[in-house]
Amino acid sequence: MARWLMTLGATLLLPGLALHHAPWLFGWFGRLPGDLHIETARGRLFVPITSMLLVSLVASLLLNLFRR
* DSSP E strand boundaries for the chain: 36-39, 44-47
Domain segments of the chain: what residues?
Answer: 1-27, 31-68
Helix (H) or strand (E) holding 63: helix 49-67
DSSP three-state, residue 68: coil
Mean pLDDT of the chain: 87
Q: Catalogue the long-range contacts made by 7-10 (C-beta closer than 8 Å, 24 or more residues apart).
A: none
Which pLDDT score is estimated for 30? Answer: 76
Other C-beta atoms closer than 10 Å to the C-beta of 54 total 14
Name the pTM for this structure: 0.61
pLDDT at 14 over 90: no
Q: How far apart are CA 10 and CA 37, in angstroms?
A: 30
